[in-house]
């Protein structure tokens, strides 16, 4: 029995994680469930899964407490709760499925406390990959990626020596605008949210539409697999069947394939290095017939090169990349800016930023907080 904290339990990854747990009831015991504002859903989940604690934004603390008054579940606020859920000595695995920069603090605390971190929150690695890696080296904490591409890479590297990697081929669905040739300036919110292959939270859906998501994933791979950015190639694969590949020094390429469903990488992160049964529809190559590959249009999707430049510059530049992007995505979702302004603003803010080399964790939070205050 492993004890779990599931952070961001009410979101898309949270839903899939709980479905995975439904099948693995004898393996996992949930101690903490967290959400930001959906207290009604969190109360329902608490009644179903009976955790010791639930965690919610302080604004909804009393509402949640009232809904759970007939139960033994204790209610905490985000401020103390997320620290407790990632440092409680009984917790074996922290699932971090919080979206955006608010996921960084829990990743840091979990790393400080030597936890296994099943990580969906790629933003933490974009912002502070080097700091998180340094902490994990000290404490023995370990990240097991939930992101499907990185799970595919981990699975392709099973039993391999990482020094024999020649390159990683990161596959991308290309998002809803992959077949567009003309400007994306006037695309609508609805069109941008309509991802062809995956159903996900709004923020990552927009990141997929701008392809900033793939830029983030390149940075995530740099930190997870200790590679230089130029060792990672991005290729459009619209079917999302090959979830990524590793090319080794002898020219051999190993890939992981499967129908797109996040339950698979989530389960692998929870049962790693073991595999257990998962009853999902199976890949049928006869039915699939063909798979396609092409290069991303880097003019239509400037986010890819902006992200690569940011990781090459390093220091606090990826923090600016992450946080300006996050704020601009929410502005786009509120109809306040155009789709193409998201990445344009990111570029402008990076150009203005005075980079700090080898930032401390505190300095990373200072840069992040300053951007939120100024641009939000």
Residue 134: its H or E element: helix 122-139
Find out whether 115 and 141 touch, Cβ atoms under 8 Å.
Answer: yes
Under rule CB under 5 A, residue 147 binds Mg ion: yes
Please report how the helices 317-333 and 361-375 are oriented relative to each other, as an axis angle in degrees rounded to 10: 30
Residues 4, 6, 8, 110: which binds ligand NAD (CB under 6 A)?
Answer: 8
All residues at 6 or more sequence positions from 258 whose CB lies less than 8 Å from its CB, including other chains: 241, 243, 264, 283
Instruction: Tokens 């929410």: give the residue.
Output: 330
Beta bridge partners of 254: 246
When asked if residue 175 is in the footprint of ligand NAD (CB under 6 A), the reply is: no
SS3 content of the chain, % helix, strand, coil (to 5): 50, 15, 35
Among 76, 93, 99, 329, binds ligand NAD (CB under 6 A): 99
Under the binding rule (CB under 6 A), the answer on residue 372 touching ligand NAD is no
Residue 123 found at the interface with ligand NAD (CB under 6 A): yes
Q: Which is nearer to ligand NAD, 174 or 247 (CB)?
A: 174
d(CA 13, CA 6): 10
Segment interacting with ligand NAD, rule: CB under 6 A, options 201-209, 248-256, 267-275, 353-361: 201-209
- Count residues binding Mg ion (CB under 5 A): 3
Q: In what order do the strands lie in the sheet with 28-34?
A: 74-77, 53-56, 28-34, 2-7, 93-96, 116-119, 142-145
- Angle, CA of 312, 370 and 81, to the nearest 5°: 100
From 14, 176, 215, 296, residue interacting with ligand NAD (rule: CB under 6 A): 14
Element holding 204 (H helix, E strand): helix 202-210
**Maximum C-alpha span of the chain:** 62
In the complex with ligand NAD, the residue whose CB is nearer, 4 or 262, is 262
Q: x/- contact string, 77-106, with Mg ion (CB under 5 A)?
A: ------------------------------
Q: What is the rounded distance in angstroms from the CA atom of residue 221 to the CA atom of residue 240?
A: 18
Give me the sign of the Cα torsion angle 359, 154, 3, 77: positive
Binding mask 249-288 for ligand NAD (x = CB under 6 A): -------------x--------------------------
Distance separating alpha carbons of residues 326 and 13, to the nearest angstrom: 18
Find the helix packing angle between 263-271 and 12-23, rounded to 10°: 60
Question: What is the C-alpha separation between 151 and 264, in angstroms, rounded?
Answer: 9
Q: Is 78 a binder of ligand NAD (CB under 6 A)?
A: yes
Candidate list 108, 120, 232, 266; residue touching ligand NAD; CB under 6 A = 120
Out of 36, 156, 244, 269, point to the residue binding ligand NAD (CB under 6 A): 36
**Which of ligand NAD, Mg ion, none lies near 78, with the C-beta cut-off 5 to 8 A by kind?**
ligand NAD
Q: Stretches 86-94, 140-148, 327-335, 350-358: which one binds Mg ion (CB under 5 A)?
A: 140-148
Indicate the residue among 98 and 234 with the shorter CB distance to ligand NAD. Answer: 98
* Minimum CB distance to Mg ion, residue 193 (Å): 16
The interface with Mg ion within residues 148-167 (CB under 5 A) comprises: 148-149
Identify which range of 143-151, 188-196, 252-260, 262-270 contacts Mg ion by CB under 5 A.
Answer: 143-151
Residue 214 binds: one of ligand NAD, Mg ion, none (C-beta under 5 to 8 A by kind): none
Are the CB atoms for 361 and 367 separated by under 8 Å? Answer: no
Cβ proximity to ligand NAD: between 102 and 332 the closer is 102
The residues binding ligand NAD (CB under 6 A) are 8-14, 35-36, 38, 78, 97-99, 102, 120-123, 147, 198, 200-201, 203-204, 262
What residues line the site for Mg ion (CB under 5 A)? 147-149
């Amino acid at each position: 029995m492993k004890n779990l904290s599931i952070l961001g339990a009410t979101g898309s990854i949270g839903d899939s994680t709980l479905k995975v747990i439904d099948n693995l009831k004898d393996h996992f015991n949930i101690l903490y469930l967290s959400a930001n504002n959906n207290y009604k859903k969190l109360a329902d989940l608490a009644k179903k899964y009976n955790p010791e604690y639930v965690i919610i934004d302080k604004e909804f603390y009393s509402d949640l407490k009232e809904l759970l008054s007939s139960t033994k579940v204790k209610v905490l606020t985000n401020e103390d709760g997320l620290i407790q859920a990632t440092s409680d000595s009984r917790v074996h695995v922290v699932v971090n499925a919080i979206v955006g920069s608010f996921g960084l603090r829990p990743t840091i605390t979990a790393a400080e406390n030597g936890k296994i971190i099943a990580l969906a929150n790629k933003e933490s690695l974009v912002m502070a990959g080097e700091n998180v890696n340094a902490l994990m080296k000290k404490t023995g904490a370990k990240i097991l990626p939930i992101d499907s591409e990185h799970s595919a890479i981990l699975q392709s590297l099973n039993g391999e020596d990482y020094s024999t990697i020649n390159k990683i081929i990161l596959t991308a669905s290309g998002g809803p605008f992959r077949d567009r040739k003309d400007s994306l300036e006037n695309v609508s919110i609805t069109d941008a949210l309509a991802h062809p292959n995956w159903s996900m939270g709004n923020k990552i859906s927009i990141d997929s539409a701008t392809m900033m998501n793939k830029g983030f994933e390149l940075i995530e791979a740099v930190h997870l697999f200790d590679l230089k950015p130029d060792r990672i190639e991005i290729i459009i694969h619209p079917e999302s069947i090959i979830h990524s590949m590793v090319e080794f020094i002898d020219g051999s390429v190993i890939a992981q394939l499967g129908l797109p469903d996040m339950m698979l990488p989530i389960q692998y992160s929870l049962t790693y290095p073991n595999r257990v049964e998962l009853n999902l529809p199976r890949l049928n190559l006869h039915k699939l017939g063909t798979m396609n590959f092409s290069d991303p249009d880097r003019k239509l999707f400037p986010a890819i090169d902006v992200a690569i430049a940011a990781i090459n510059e390093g220091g606090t530049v990826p923090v600016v990349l992450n946080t300006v992007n996050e704020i601009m995505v929410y502005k786009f979702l509120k109809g306040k800016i155009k789709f193409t302004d998201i990445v344009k603003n990111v570029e402008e803010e990076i150009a203005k930023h005075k980079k700090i080399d080898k930032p401390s964790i505190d300095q990373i939070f200072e840069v992040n907080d300053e951007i939120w205050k100024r641009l939000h």
